[in-house]
Amino acid sequence: MNHSLIPYGDAQGRPCLQIPISSLDISDPRTLVRHLEAHWEPAIRHLQFTGEVPWGSRDLDRAISHVYADPRYELTEIWHCRPVESEEWSALSIGLCLDVSVFFRGDTLLADVRAQLRSLPPIPQPDELVILHPDIGSVSAPALDEVCLYLDPRLGGGTIYVPQGSDTERQAAREVRRTSTTWAVRHAG
């Protein structure tokens, strides 16, 4: 079984059990629970699906519901980081780290960010916002605030991930400190 550490977000660095969901027959909703029984370790509190994840499928939602209904796993969180432009989402409330990098690429104007936000399909409420692949030149306080307000105003900000020790990291940190946003800068995985 592949155990790893969560690479991004508030749970960064915590142990995570990776589940190759595409290799499981989830048409039987108990399959996921049986898989956990075979690979479980007490220190694990986060699960992450790998491979082609059928987000939005009824089978996956039923399998996840069975996990959460089992008292052995009720404190377990399914963690996933997905791009904001994804089209399929789980109907369940699960730990969503939302990557909003698409808004910060190239010469993006605030009006462009607003238009992109309005064109998004319905998105579940995220637990956190991240920018995993920023073009730092396109990061501005108004755009950061606009994204946060539109997607989930209760979050108040997010995290920008940059390569450690790079000029990009220093530039991003200066830009974020210079502005009034509540976004942070961290080192990428």
Domain boundaries, the chain: 1-81, 100-189
pLDDT at residue 104, rounded to an integer: 85
1 pLDDT exceeds 50? no
Q: Which three-class secondary structure state does DSSP give residue 99?
A: strand
CA distance 26 to 61: 10
Which pairing describes strands 128-131 and 159-162: parallel, antiparallel, or unpaired?
A: parallel
Higher pLDDT residue, 180 or 94? 94
Task: Please report, as a single letter, which amino acid is at residue 125.
Answer: Q
What does DSSP assign to residue 35? H
Cα 53-54-60 angle, rounded to 5 deg: 105
Mean pLDDT of the chain: 84
What does DSSP assign to residue 136? G
pLDDT at residue 154, rounded to an integer: 85
CA distance 28 to 49: 17
Q: Which three-class secondary structure state does DSSP give residue 82?
A: strand
11 pLDDT exceeds 60? yes
pLDDT by residue (tens digit) across 18-61? 899 999 999 999 999 999 999 988 888 888 888 888 888 999 99
Band (3; pLDDT cuts 50, 70, 90): low
Could you tell me if 23 and 51 are in contact, meaning their C-beta atoms sit under 8 angstroms apart? yes
pLDDT by residue (tens digit) across 98-146? 999 998 887 778 899 999 999 998 888 888 999 887 777 777 888 888 8
Question: Does the reported pTM lie above 0.75?
Answer: yes
